[in-house]
């Protein structure tokens, strides 16, 4: 395990923010993790576990140690008449892992194609898109406690999955490093195509017979048409969560704004489209300093050049205040602020 000092984190965050880490190391094996845990020098300084860097906003230099998760490997560990159990190491690229599953006819993850980041972030964020959430496909999460060095396996209920959240983002934040995730995938596909414009895209593609590959291709086409490529424009995908509100509030908003998109979550709550709220407040396409709101998707904040993390955070806070003032709805950041 090599420890580097004063390392630029610009290559390691998709917002392309210039910030330095006091210390930096890459964890390529569980042995590296145990080696780090036994290094007394780093026990009492801040630690940042970094995967693909696609869901963070660096607001300054990090005066601690960045642990870059580089654990690799994917394998089938169990098979039943209905399911495949696939173990993927946390450092694996998420989209490449999804494509691997499609190649092998392991069904379930196809709607989550082209989401940036690594496998280890998937349970932490409870990633989701186009009617599918990863919590419904995760069997277990394998971890090592950064304090004690003990291994701990979290079954699905122990992860306490919530909307774009889990126990790893809340009560156990920064306490465990995720080493691998075991996914329970289907032998018989259960197609989800009614969310968003998947059906319309499949029609455009001339698909007559559904397959997990066709759905993945449709999702990739939709995402590429709406979302900026981080290698071209710095961004972290959706910056805000879609707010969940009581049905009564949603109905009141519907009276004033008949075209507001509302999605039923359960008998008492509805989900609102954050992008629609932001666009209605006039933010879509707006630029301030070197950052702004993307022209095609108001949920996405972008770094057009040399914006600082503080510039982007200030823009986000202005948007939150604007939406609250207009709709009396509080937006919550999905991106982790560092």
Angle between helix axes 94-103 and 212-226 (nearest 10 degrees) is 150
CA distance 296 to 237: 12
CA distance 142 to 152: 6
Name the active-site residue from 166, 180, 238, 308.
238
CA–CA distances in Å: residue 92 to residues 99, 109, 337: 12, 15, 23
Question: Which 3 state secondary structure label does DSSP give 275?
Answer: helix
Name the active-site residue from 164, 165, 216, 223.
164
β-strand partners of 287: 292
DSSP 23-65: EEEEE-SHHHHHHHHT-GGGTTS-EEEESSS-SEE--S-EEEE
334 is catalytic: yes
DSSP 215-274: HHHHHHHHHHHHS--TTTSEEEEE-BPPPEEEHHHHHHHHHH-TT--EEE-SSSEEEE-H
For tokens 């780090």, the residue is 36
199 is catalytic: no
216 is catalytic: no
Annotated active-site positions, please?
164, 238, 334
């Amino acid at each position: 395990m090599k420890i580097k000092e004063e390392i630029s984190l610009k290559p390691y965050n998709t917002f392309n923010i210039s910030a330095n880490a006091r210390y930096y190391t890459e964890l390529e094996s569980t042995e590296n993790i145990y080696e780090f845990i036994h290094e007394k020098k780093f026990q009492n300084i801040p630690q940042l576990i970094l995967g693909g860097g696609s869901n963070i906003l660096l607001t300054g230099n990090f005066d601690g140690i960045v642990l870059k998760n580089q654990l690799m490997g994917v394998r089938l560990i169990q098979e039943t008449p209905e399911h495949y159990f696939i173990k993927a190491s946390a450092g694996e690229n998420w989209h490449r892992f999804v494509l691997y599953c499609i190649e092998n006819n392991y069904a379930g993850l196809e709607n989550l194609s082209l989401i940036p980041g690594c496998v280890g972030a998937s349970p932490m964020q409870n990633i989701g898109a186009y009617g599918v959430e990863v919590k419904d496909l995760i069997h277990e999460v394998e971890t090592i406690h950064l304090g004690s060095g003990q291994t701990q396996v979290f079954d699905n209920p122990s992860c306490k999955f919530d909307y774009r959240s889990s126990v790893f983002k809340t009560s156990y934040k920064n306490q465990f490093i995720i080493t691998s995730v075991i996914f329970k995938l289907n032998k018989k596909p259960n197609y989800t195509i009614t969310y968003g414009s998947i059906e319309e895209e499949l029609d455009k593609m001339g698909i007559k017979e559904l397959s997990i590959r066709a759905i993945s291709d449709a999702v990739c086409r939709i995402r590429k048409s709406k979302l900026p490529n981080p290698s071209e424009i710095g961004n972290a995908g959706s910056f805000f969560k879609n707010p969940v509100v009581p049905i009564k509030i949603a109905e009141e908003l519907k009276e004033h704004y008949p075209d507001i998109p509302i999605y039923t979550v359960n008998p008492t709550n509805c989900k609102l489209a954050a992008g629609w709220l932001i666009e209605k407040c006039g933010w879509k396409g707006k630029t301030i300093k070197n950052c702004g709101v993307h022209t095609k998707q108001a949920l996405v904040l972008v770094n057009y050049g040399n914006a600082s993390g503080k510039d982007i955070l200030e823009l986000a806070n202005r948007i939150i205040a604007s939406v609250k003032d207009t709709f009396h709805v509080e937006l919550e950041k999905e991106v982790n602020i560092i």
